[in-house]
Structure 1
Amino acid sequence: MRKIFMLMISIILLFSMFATPALAAKNHPSTEGNTNMSSILTYEDMIDELEKLEKRSNGDLQVQTLEELGYEHNKSEQNRDLYVAKIGNGPEKVWIQGRIHGNEPYGTKSTLQLLKMLVQNSSSTYQEILDELTLYVIPMYNPDGSEMNIRHSELSDTGERIDLNRDWTLEGFKAAESKAWYSLWADIEPDFGIDIHHQGLKEDSETGDAVTMSLGVSLAPNGPTLPNIKNGLYNDVTRQAQVYVYDSLKDYGYTNVDRYTVGSSSSGFSEIDIHGGVVSAMMLGLNYNGLNEDHHSHPAVFFETSGNTRDGNLGQRGRGHNIKQNVLGVKNLLHGLATNEVYNVDPERWGEIPRPEIEGYYTDHSGFIPMKK
């Protein structure tokens, strides 16, 4: 009987990943945008803001396109330049990406605000970040999808829509953006990665209060994959990082943070263990086309901010608060990495971050894997 139940859960979860927006689980990332984009930063807005920040920085911020950096693959499918901003002088390198899904715009605004604070704020906190870390910031990973307000990018030759967050696989790299960003990543060899996403509206499973952000790791901590990488090192570091962020945000009045799950109360909840995600490939040390022969890898985490363009719930008040919590969360995590405070956190405190009871792990490699009792 239990095998039949688990099979039904797996089928329901699989359906929810591909359902139309009206039927998709309410805490699953958005798939199609229908919000008025007049208040959302455009590709040209991003370029303008980056150029202004670079001028104000007195040389501290370097803004370049991948074409200027000399990469063979250096533009989007629709021939847009791909921009990366570099700031800091520290030995530890951190990769921060936003808006890999075009209809999840907070990543662009949040990373630009973070850069603005790093350029303009001279406090000891920001100085420690710049002294100990070198940041590589990608405000708009997917400029084509951002301009179309869709999750995907479209291949220029066939029109096929590609989820760029599922394109870093040995069988993938269909999109020009994937080849371009992977080439940069392989050259930089970061030490840590941060990915900013959206999810739909979500409620705390116990209190019913609105959740403003979910903290996640694309290879589930204590799940089927992460404990086997680097003798469990990333299993600890990713949990430490998320606990550090949780501790730094939980006392702000406008935030309500939990752990990222997929599913619903009716179908059951699962954590994700996705090998095909970009930050998963980073942790797995993917070697594509011989560009990462040493299989360099590093821990990575993601933020899932509540509110997306599909649901039309990017109201002015909510947008400002949610962008602020992103900036604070990333800034605090960077400071924790710079001071090594992150590594003093007990990783077992991961269990203190609220989440609903989970049935198992949703994977792209082994179907649904039930939680061991």
Structure 2
Amino acid sequence: MRTPRRRYLTLMAALLLAPTVAPGLANANGPFVPPGQETVNRSSMLSAEQISAELRSLAARSKGALRVEEIGRSGQGRPLEVAYIGTGSTRVWIQGRIHGNEPYGAEASLDFLKTLVSGGKHARDVLKEISFAIIPLYNPDGSEAFRRQDSINNIDLNRDWGVDRRMFDQLNAVRVSLGQAPLPERNFTNYTRHRAVESQAFWYAWANFKPHHMIDLHHQGTYYVGDTDEMTTFSVGISLDPGMLTTDQWNTVRRMGVVAADAAGKSGVVNVTRYPYINIPEGVTSASMLNGPGPQGEYANWRSNAMFFESRGGIGQKSSGYIIKQNVNGLWAIIDAMSDRSLASVDADRWSNIPPRGAAITTCDKFPNQCDF
């Protein structure tokens, strides 16, 4: 039974005395970094070169089943690669590490891909039903620098897909319905339109593949589970207000989240929560759900069903195994539900029963064993 989260006088005092940007505070630029550990230990994280080599090795072992395509080059000249596998009519897009300092989406994607390449009965059955486009490393330059943004434009690649007038007006309609002020016209001119070469290359790959479903793998800071003393290790999220989605989309993405939460939560070390409400139409998963425009203003005339995973911060070597595993378990649960056609029977309203993500954990005092860089 979960108990109300206790307030600690020592913690509050520390927060009151903390500088404006204190070491260890959860922030918008990536996972939680424990106090005194500003230099991140990256020994458990694959480099861009290692990820590319692993993809090529898997393709060689797959006897032609896996095709790795270089769809372009990053701002600093690194390959942008997509792994294609499967012959099924349902198309699924999985991407990791769009934020360069959120590493284990790459490792989870490769772990998932290794099982698909293994040739076992489970993999063969899935590949008859589903075709995959898997991007372990969306932002290779940011990953090598271990920074959220790309390294040429210094922009968040997950805010760099196209938004048109239709989407802007739809967003404002939602804001008004929620009692919020509409965005001023000047905000529309500031919306992004594929400024980075990475955004351009991956939008065209998405438009060509036309995935029915998308799953985006992220890290967040370190947070409590609702109003409890437990730490969130895994969150499921949807990047748009339901008012911007069709009824079928809203139901489908919630079902995907419920299935992933159920699967990840079966492990004793995993505490699953629901990511807080957001509404970012310029994000990759959002624009894919809204048929957002491409780099030249063109349209794919396609809407994907997209959601995302968020693993906890404190991403050290000791915790990397279960952080990767919870993502892989979530991926397989969704894929199996699609493959055996049970996804449509999942109760989408169970989405609201997933515990909400709580307040940020800003010190290692509460969970000293989790601060394991």
Corresponding residue SS for 2:43: helix
Q: How far does residue 357 in structure 1 lie from its aligned partner after superposition?
A: 8.2
CA distance in 1, matches of 2:295, 2:302: 14
Q: Is the 2:95–2:217 contact (alpha carbons within 8 Å) kept by the matching residues of 1?
A: yes
Output the amino acid matched with 1:114: F
CA distance in 1, matches of 2:22, 2:278: 20
CA distance in 2, matches of 1:30, 1:316: 14
Q: How far does residue 315 in structure 1 lie from its aligned partner after superposition?
A: 2.6
Q: How far does residue 256 in structure 1 lie from its aligned partner after superposition?
A: 0.9
Q: Match for residue 100 of structure 1?
A: 98
Q: Match for residue 117 of structure 1?
A: 115
TM-score (norm 2): 0.77
Output the amino acid matched with 1:303: F
Evaluate the alpha carbon distance shift between residue 234 and residue 315 of structure 1 in structure 2; reply closer, same or farther with a 3 A threshold.
same
| Residues 132-176 of structure 1: per-residue CA shift (max 9 Å, x gap) | 100000010000000111001022xxxx40110001124421111
Q: Is the 2:256–2:334 contact (alpha carbons within 8 Å) kept by the matching residues of 1?
A: yes
Asked whether 1:288 is paired with 2:303, we answer no
Output the amino acid matched with 2:350: R
Q: Match for residue 304 of structure 1?
A: 310
The counterpart of 1:64, out of the listed 62, 69, 72, is 69
Q: Match for residue 325 of structure 2?
A: 324
The counterpart of 2:274, out of the listed 259, 279, 284, is 259
Evaluate the alpha carbon distance shift between residue 121 and residue 320 of structure 1 in structure 2; reply closer, same or farther with a 3 A threshold.
farther
The counterpart of 1:227, out of the listed 232, 243, 256, is 243
CA distance in 2, matches of 1:36, 1:249: 26
Corresponding residue SS for 2:109: helix
Output the amino acid matched with 1:347: A
Output the amino acid matched with 2:109: T
Q: Match for residue 45 of structure 1?
A: 50
Q: Is the 2:105–2:218 contact (alpha carbons within 8 Å) kept by the matching residues of 1?
A: yes
| Residues 68-93 of structure 1: per-residue CA shift (max 9 Å, x gap) | xxxxxx11000111111011110011
Q: Match for residue 341 of structure 1?
A: 342
Q: Match for residue 187 of structure 1?
A: 208
Residue correspondence of structure 1 range 2-21 to structure 2 within 5 A: 20=21
Output the amino acid matched with 2:148: R
Q: Is the 2:43–2:317 contact (alpha carbons within 8 Å) kept by the matching residues of 1?
A: no
Q: Match for residue 265 of structure 1?
A: none
Q: Match for residue 214 of structure 1?
A: 235
Q: Is the 1:31–1:151 contact (alpha carbons within 8 Å) kept by the matching residues of 2?
A: no
For structure 2, the residue ranges without an aligned partner over 5 or more in a row are 1-19, 164-191, 360-373
Asked whether 1:148 is paired with 2:148, we answer no
Q: Is the 2:264–2:327 contact (alpha carbons within 8 Å) kept by the matching residues of 1?
A: no
Asked whether 1:177 is paired with 2:193, we answer no
Identity across the alignment (%): 38
For structure 1, the residue ranges without an aligned partner over 5 or more in a row are 1-18, 67-73, 262-270, 308-312, 359-373
Q: Is the 2:76–2:141 contact (alpha carbons within 8 Å) kept by the matching residues of 1?
A: yes
CA distance in 1, matches of 2:31, 2:25: 9
CA distance in 1, matches of 2:275, 2:233: 11
Q: Match for residue 75 of structure 2?
A: 77
Evaluate the alpha carbon distance shift between residue 249 and residue 29 of structure 1 in structure 2; reply closer, same or farther with a 3 A threshold.
same
Q: How far does residue 65 in structure 1 lie from its aligned partner after superposition?
A: 0.7
Q: How far does residue 250 in structure 1 lie from its aligned partner after superposition?
A: 2.1
TM-score (norm 1): 0.77
Output the amino acid matched with 1:339: D
Output the amino acid matched with 2:69: Q
CA distance in 2, matches of 1:301, 1:210: 22
Corresponding residue SS for 1:302: strand
| Residues 173-227 of structure 1: per-residue CA shift (max 9 Å, x gap) | 11110111111111111111000000111211233112110000111xxx3xx33
Q: Match for residue 87 of structure 1?
A: 85
Q: Is the 2:215–2:308 contact (alpha carbons within 8 Å) kept by the matching residues of 1?
A: yes
The counterpart of 2:264, out of the listed 249, 265, 268, is 249
Corresponding residue SS for 1:82: strand
Q: Is the 2:32–2:221 contact (alpha carbons within 8 Å) kept by the matching residues of 1?
A: no
Corresponding residue SS for 1:135: strand
CA distance in 1, matches of 2:343, 2:311: 22
CA distance in 1, matches of 2:322, 2:196: 33
- Aligned length, in residue pairs: 308
CA distance in 2, matches of 1:31, 1:151: 13
CA distance in 1, matches of 2:315, 2:358: 29
Q: How far does residue 229 in structure 1 lie from its aligned partner after superposition?
A: 2.7
CA distance in 2, matches of 1:26, 1:152: 14
Q: Is the 2:273–2:356 contact (alpha carbons within 8 Å) kept by the matching residues of 1?
A: yes
